[in-house]
């Protein structure tokens, strides 16, 4: 998705915005989107129908919504209320803060977008429901937000190659968005819980939740069905946690794409814990990344269950080859199981010039979805190790992250009906004999004292790997040990 900015503030669909102006930063904090709950006793309801909303799905209710917003925003202890049982047509609109503390936005009815692309303002085609400069706001309700996206999908250049490529609006959330459903941009301390997103598998660019330039975001207990990424995380995002996610159809949970047009990108501290991916294209993918953990994930008929691709090209035409690439390091895959639709169950396609490093595979069991099929691991310039039972085997991971020429180290480990394997080609570790202490070349590493949630076997393998990487700094091992062990 190309970033779009309004004349005075960044895009934040269903988020609090963050903006820097004259060296002053305004941050959105404590922003929540929750499942339905009854209105709190004693709150003041501000009903959009009291400001002229018709709710027949035909009349334009945009101004009524904006008037109700301005009123509720200025009142203490208020509820912006979209009542149940009706459908409200709302065009592209910006709901600006700051508002009074503890504002509740209750969506019980249906909000619907204009169906015809020609009905959208060409000067503002990139967002639909835009919330900004908010703190401590709570969204709730069991209503529907319908993006009316079918005609946008049909005119996409990804569906019809003869059509020009143009951006479609980002909805606030939920079914049939024209493009991305739910965007969190330039925000801090955002929690998304119990959200359902639905779009057909052939709808292009319909990411479920798109996170950019944001920190401290939690997405949990949500079901996402799309034609693109269920959740995508792009540049300048950190400390993103996803738990109990049901994803599919779609492209999976992805980091990237990043580094477009030789730009600099940085993403760090990402956790995916307890997820089910059904019929997706990808499981977990990475662009520029460090300190990423995918764990407790079940794959069902997934095309690329585990993939890192530094050669990713998301374009209707071929991409020009690049000699540079964003750096990928400190990525842990733990307790991943399920079935793969293609032979390459694990693919680490890393750059010859900027190899991937510190990839850890712990307890992986991926088999072919088709009867009699095969599953294999492909590596190009990827360094790391496997521990525990890993199927298919990952012997193609390089022992160190020295420069790679893209030939000798490239390989694949293939399993058809064989038994799982575990790497054991490293020297004996020097340990204190219990988790919590690791000694490297008579120097105690930064793993000491961390709260391990791992087996002794994985602890030992980490120590073996450390011995092969003595040139790494102490700061590096603080990050690496915390990532691979799950310590906070």
Known catalytic membership, residue 181:
no
Q: What pLDDT does residue 4 have? A: 31
CB 326 within 8 A of CB 288: yes
Give the range with max mean pLDDT: 22-26, 106-110, 143-147. Answer: 106-110
- Between 479 and 65, the higher pLDDT residue: 65
Please report the pLDDT score of residue 34 as a whole number.
Answer: 47
Alpha carbon distance, N-terminus to C-terminus of the chain: 32
Higher pLDDT, 419 or 218: 218
Q: Assess whether pLDDT exceeds 70 at residue 350.
A: yes
Tell me, what's the pLDDT at 194?
84
Which range in 37-46, 83-92, 248-257 is most confidently predicted, on average pLDDT?
83-92
Lowest mean pLDDT among 36-45, 253-262, 277-286: 36-45
Phi, psi of 466, rounded to the nearest 5 degrees: -60, -40
Given this model, what pLDDT does residue 245 score? Answer: 95
- CATH tag for 19-423 (out of 3.90.400.10, 3.40.50.300, 3.60.150.10, 2.160.20.10): 2.160.20.10
pLDDT over 60 at 97, yes or no: yes
Q: List all residues 6 or more positions away from 57 whose beta carbon is below 8 Å from its beta carbon.
A: 86, 87, 88, 89, 110, 112
Between 59-73, 212-226, 278-292, the lowest mean confidence (pLDDT) is in: 278-292
Higher-pLDDT residue of 107, 154: 107
Residues 6+ apart with CB under 8 A from 71: 46, 51, 78
Could you tell me the pLDDT band of residue 418, with boundaries at 50, 70 and 90?
very low
Tell which residue, 462, 455, 465, has the closest CA to residue 481.
Answer: 462
Beta-bridge partner residues of 246: 223, 276
Using H for helix, E for strand and C for coil, what is the string for the chain? CCCCECCCCECCCCCCCCEEECCEEECCCCEEECCCCCCCCCCEEEEHHHHCCCCEEEEECHHHHHHHHHHHHHCCCEEEEECCCCEEECCCEEEECCCCCCCEEEECCEEECCCCHHHCCCCCCCECEEEECCCCCEEECCCEEECCCHHHHHCCCCCCCCCCCCCCCECCCCCCCCCCCEEEECCEEEEEECCEEECCCCCCCCCCEEEECCEEEEEEEEEEECCCEEEEECCCEEEEEEEEEEECCECEEEECCCCHHHCCCCEEEEEEEEEEEECECEEEECCCEEEEEEEEEEEEEECEEEEEECCCCCCCCCCCCCCCCCCEEEEEEEEEEEEECCCEEEEEECCCCCCEEEEEEEEEEEEECCCCCCEEEEEECEEEEEEEEEECCCCCCECCCCCCCCCCCCEEEEECCCCCECCCCCCCCCECCCCCCEEECCEECCCCCCCCCCCHHHHHHHHHHHHCCCCCCHHHHHHHHHHHHCCC
110 against 138, higher pLDDT: 110
Q: Find tokens 């934040």 and name the residue.
A: 12
d(CA 56, CA 46): 19
% of the chain at pLDDT higher than 90: 32
Write down the pLDDT at residue 313. 64
**C-beta of residue 431 within 8 angstroms of C-beta of residue 439:** yes
Catalytic residue (one of 181, 251, 417, 439): 251
Higher pLDDT, 321 or 326: 326
Check residues 406 and 227 and name the one with the higher pLDDT: 227
Q: Is the pLDDT of residue 178 over 60?
A: no
Please state whether the peptide bond connecting residue 79 to the residue before it is cis, i.e. omega within 30 degrees of 0: no
Residue bearing the bigger pLDDT, 259 or 202: 202
* Average pLDDT for 357-376: 93
CA 417 to chain centre: 34
Contact 474, 448 (CB under 8 A): no
187 or 26, which is more confident? 187
pLDDT one-digit tens code per residue, 51-76 = 999 999 999 999 999 999 999 999 99
Question: Per-residue pLDDT averaged across 98-106, rounded?
Answer: 90
Q: What is the mean pLDDT of the chain?
A: 72
Total-model pTM: 0.70
Instruction: Decide if pLDDT at 435 tops 50.
Output: no
pLDDT value of position 233:
93
Q: Residue 24 contacts by C-beta under 8 Å, 6 or more apart in sequence? A: none
Give the percent of the chain with pLDDT over 70. 60
For residue 142, what pLDDT is reported? 86
| Mean pLDDT for the stretch of residues 409-432 | 32
CA pair distance 344, 20, nearest whole angstrom: 44
pLDDT category, 330, cuts 50, 70, 90?
confident
CA 331, CA 54: separation in Å to the nearest integer?
52
Say if residue 421 is preceded by a cis peptide, omega within 30 of 0: no
Q: Is the pLDDT of residue 421 over 90?
A: no
Beta carbons of 255 and 287 less than 8 angstroms apart: yes
Quick: pLDDT tens for 208-218: 899 988 999 99
Q: Which of 31-45, 177-191, 226-240, 256-270 has the highest mean pLDDT?
A: 226-240
Are the CB atoms for 87 and 60 separated by under 8 Å? no
* Residue-range domain boundaries for the chain: 19-423, 426-488
Lowest mean pLDDT among 336-340, 409-413, 467-471: 409-413
Q: What is the pLDDT of residue 365?
A: 97
What tokens appear for 370 in the block?
A: 């088709």
Section 425-430 average pLDDT: 32
Please report, for residues 51, 100, 242, 316, the alpha-carbon distance to residue 70 in angstroms, rounded to integers and kept in the order given: 11, 11, 33, 43
69: left (phi over 0), alpha (psi -120 to 50) or beta: alpha
Q: Give the lowest-confidence range in 113-127, 246-260, 289-303.
A: 113-127
Specify the pLDDT at position 16: 28
- Considering only CA atoms, which of 440, 441, 442 is closest in space to residue 480? 440
CA distance 91 to 175: 16
**pLDDT range class, residue 366, cuts 50, 70, 90:** very high
Instruction: Report d(CA 83, CA 101) in Å as an integer.
Output: 22
Asked if residues 214 and 190 have their Cβ atoms less than 8 Å apart, the reply is: yes
């Amino acid at each position: 998705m190309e970033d779009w900015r309004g004349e005075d503030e960044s895009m934040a669909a269903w988020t609090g915005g963050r903006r820097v102006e004259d060296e002053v930063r305004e941050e959105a904090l404590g922003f929540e989107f929750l499942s339905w709950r009854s209105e709190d006793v004693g709150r003041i309801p501000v009903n959009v129908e009291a400001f002229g909303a018709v709710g027949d799905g035909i009349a334009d209710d945009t101004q009524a919504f904006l008037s109700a917003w301005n009123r509720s925003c200025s009142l203490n202890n208020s509820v912006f209320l979209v009542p149940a049982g009706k459908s409200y047509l709302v065009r592209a609109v910006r709901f600006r803060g700051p508002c009074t503390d503890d504002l509740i936005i209750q969506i019980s009815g249906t909000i619907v977008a204009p169906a015809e692309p020609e009905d959208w303002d060409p000067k503002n085609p990139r967002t639909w429901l835009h919330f900004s400069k908010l703190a401590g706001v709570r969204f709730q309700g069991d209503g529907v937000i319908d993006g009316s996206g079918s005609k946008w999908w049909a005119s996409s250049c990804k569906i019809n190659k003869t059509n020009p490529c143009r951006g479609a609006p980002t909805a606030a959330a939920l079914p049939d968005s024209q493009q991305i459903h739910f965007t969190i941009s330039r925000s801090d301390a955002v929690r998304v819980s119990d959200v359902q997103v639905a779009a057909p598998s052939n709808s292009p660019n319909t990411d479920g939740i798109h996170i950019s330039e944001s920190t401290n975001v939690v997405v949990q207990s949500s079901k996402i069905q799309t034609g693109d990424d269920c959740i995508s995380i792009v540049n300048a995002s950190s400390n993103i946690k996803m738990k109990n996610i049901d994803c599919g159809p779609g492209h999976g949970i992805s980091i990237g794409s990043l580094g477009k047009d030789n730009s600099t990108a940085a993403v760090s501290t990402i956790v995916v814990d307890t997820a089910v991916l059904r019929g997706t294209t990808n499981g977990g993918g990475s662009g520029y990344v460090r300190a990423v953990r995918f764990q407790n994930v079940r794959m069902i008929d997934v095309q690329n269950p585990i993939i890192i691709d530094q050669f990713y090209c998301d374009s209707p035409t071929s991409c020009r080859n690049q000699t540079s690439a964003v750096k990928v390091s400190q990525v842990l895959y733990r307790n991943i199981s399920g079935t793969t639709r293609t032979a390459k169950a694990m693919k680490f396609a890393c750059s010859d010039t900027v190899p991937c490093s510190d990839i850890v595979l712990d307890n992986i069991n991926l088999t072919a979805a088709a009867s009699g099929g095969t599953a294999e691991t492909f590596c190009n310039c990827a360094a790391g190790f496997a521990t525990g039972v890993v199927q298919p085997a990952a012997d193609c991971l390089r022992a160190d992250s020295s420069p790679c020429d893209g030939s000798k180290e490239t390989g694949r480990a293939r399993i058809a009906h064989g038994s799982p394997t575990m790497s054991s080609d490293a020297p004996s570790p020097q340990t204190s004999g219990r988790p919590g202490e690791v000694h490297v070349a008579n120097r105690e590493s930064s793993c000491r004292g961390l709260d391990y949630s791992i087996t002794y076997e994985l602890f030992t393998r980490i120590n073996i790997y450390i011995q092969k990487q003595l040139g790494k700094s102490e700061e590096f091992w603080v990050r690496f040990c915390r990532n691979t062990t799950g310590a906070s």
